[in-house]
Amino acid sequence: MSEEWKQKLQKYYGGHLSDEEAEEIERDLEKLDAYQELISEELGSEKDVQDEDLPPEKVNKILKNSIRNARFSSVAYVIMIILLIYPIMTMASYIYYGWGGKAEDLIYVAIETVYVTEPNVSLEEMQIKENVGLFTLDVNMDLYKRVGKEDIKLGDWKVTYEMDKAELIKRNYISENAPMEIPYYDTKKLYHPKAEITNKDPDAWDSLEKLPEGTVAEVYVSLNELKKPEDMIGVTEGLDVEWRWYAIDTGLEASGKSLEGGYLTPIGYPAQPDPDGWSPYHNRKPNDQQFMESLRFLEKYEQQAVDIAHAKWLDLDHRIEYIEDHGLKSYGGVITGPTKEILKLRNSESIRTIHIGEVRLWNW
């Protein structure tokens, strides 16, 4: 309420306004009908309000109290509605994600996607946390890489589902060799025998040779020919190194392109069984069998898997069919071990090219 209006109101009750000004004030007062009932209660009756010649100070006080009370009532009403709706919506969210094991499936989509599309990357059960919000599900995961005999932390991912869509992926890396958000041909590390090498490191072997004796390394190895997973050990036979992940040929790796013509991320599975029973690659089944189970599971949630992975396409239906028709064959993968042991593969006829990943001090 402006000071000018207050002065006019005082003159109105003192009878000092012209007819035109009085009519303007009366129109303004008509807008305050919503507060008339409170004013009437304060004065006793509507007739008394009309007949009694009130002091302007009394009218101003009544109007201020009325406005304050109305605002408080509105705010209290809104808060009450929110307090009633929030627990109801929260309960509905838990029911939505709990019905039919939806939350468990979405959590496993994130887990399986990591193991299938991220070479030499693993998770730990105690470092996977989920949180249900208002029709949202957050999955937080710490990622690890095996370098030598130790699992080093690569970083963490946060996958946020809105309903059942993976709408937001936050990746935080603490590694110096963090992967690109969406890899491209000039960042590839693994190559099919017939694929064009677009990211060749001609100094990779020399770099390994220059590394100190007391170091261990992670190395991406591409082969000159396809091999069955059980024959991969022959490539490193007699060497004190370990295969960590096999890249699998699915009929698209020779071109390196998806069915739509875009960059296609490699897929594969851990070479070693995981002793933890919760893992998708536990030691109760062969890893190649669990790999196929992972692909068939992810095929049902392919869009979510694409959104989570460093990929724009996965083409899982085509890849599954190809593997079923041609069997599992690997074109390379990831090994780790003492740097000087890996260096002994330099003249191997089986190896087409290598790419150095993480390097650490001796832990073998």
Q: Are residues 115 and 84 in the same domain?
A: no
- Chunked into runs of 10 residues, the chain (364 residues) has average pLDDT values of 69 70 72 59 50 57 62 64 68 83 93 96 91 91 96 95 91 83 86 95 94 95 97 96 98 94 94 90 94 97 94 95 97 98 96 96 94
Instruction: Report the interhelical angle of 56-98 vs 3-14 (nearest 10°).
Output: 130
Q: Is-contact 117 311, C-beta < 8 A? A: yes
254: in domain: yes
Q: Are residues 269 and 132 in the same domain?
A: yes
Q: Are residues 10 and 91 in the same domain?
A: yes
HSE at residue 50, side-chain half, CA atoms within 13 A, is: 4
296: in domain: yes
Identify the burial level of 236 via C-beta atoms within 10 angstroms of its C-beta, where 0-12 means exposed, 13-18 middle and 19 or more buried: buried
Q: Are residues 259 and 148 in the same domain?
A: yes
268: in domain: yes
Q: Are residues 158 and 289 in the same domain?
A: yes
- The type of residue at 251 is G
pLDDT at 81: 65
295: in domain: yes
SS3 content of the chain, % helix, strand, coil (to 5): 45, 25, 30
pLDDT at 179: 79
**Spatial CB neighbours of 314, under 8 Å, sequence gap ≥ 6:** 117, 265, 267, 298, 302, 305, 306
Question: Per the structure, how many domains does the chain have?
Answer: 2
> CA angle at residue 145 from 243 to 214, to 5 degrees?
75
3-class DSSP assignment, residue 337: strand
C-alpha Rg value of the chain to the nearest Å: 35
Q: Is-contact 360 340, C-beta < 8 A? A: no
Tokens describing residue 139 = 């999955």
The whole-angstrom separation of Cα 131 and Cα 112 is: 19
3-class DSSP assignment, residue 90: helix
The whole-angstrom separation of Cα 100 and Cα 156 is: 28
pLDDT at 53: 54
pLDDT at 51: 44
- Nearest Cα to 179, choosing from 97, 266, 238? 266
Q: Are residues 123 and 60 in the same domain?
A: no
Q: Are residues 129 and 91 in the same domain?
A: no
Identify the burial level of 337 via C-beta atoms within 10 angstroms of its C-beta, where 0-12 means exposed, 13-18 middle and 19 or more buried: buried
Q: To the nearest 10°, the Cα dihedral for 312, 316, 321, 326?
A: 70
100: in domain: no
Q: Are residues 73 and 147 in the same domain?
A: no
Domain that holds residue 40: 3-95
The whole-angstrom separation of Cα 72 and Cα 10 is: 28
Identify the burial level of 51 via C-beta atoms within 10 angstroms of its C-beta, where 0-12 means exposed, 13-18 middle and 19 or more buried: exposed
Tokens describing residue 233 = 């050990």
Among residues 58, 75, 95, which one ends one of the domains?
A: 95
177: in domain: yes
Tokens describing residue 35 = 């507060």
